[in-house]
Homo-oligomer: A and B are copies of this chain.
Amino acid sequence: MSDKGKRREGQENAVFVGRRPTMNYVMAVMMVLNKGVECTVKARGKAISHAVDICEILKNRFLKGVEYKDISITTEVLTGEEGRQNNVSSMEIVLSPPE
C-alpha cells in the first residue's frame, strides 16, 4: 500500500482503513496475520463500518480461525484547517492470527 510513508514506528502491524476498495485492506490485514502476529485495524468516522466489513470478510471467507482479541472505541480530537476542533469517533479492532 502506498501510504507506507505515513506510518509511525510501532505501527507496522496496523492497517488504517480509508476509502480504498475493501479487498485492498483485506489483503493488507491478511499479510500481517500471515506473519503470525496480531494486526490492529484502525478507522475513524464513516470508515468504521468499512473496517467492520473488512474484518468480517477476512474472518469468514479468507482466514478461518482468526479471532477478535479486542475491540475498542474512543473519540479523537482533530484540529481542522481553520483551527477548529472536531470530535471524531475512532475504532480499533485487534485480530489475532489463526493458531
Contact = CB atoms under 8 A, between A and B. Distances in A.
Interface residues of A, number: 20
A89 interface: yes
B49 A45 contact: yes
Interface string A80-99: 00000001010101000000
Nearest to A53: B89
Nearest to A74: B56
A52 B60 contact: no
A52 to B, nearest CB: 5
A72 interface: yes
Interface of A: 45-49, 52-53, 55-56, 60, 68, 71-75, 87, 89, 91, 93
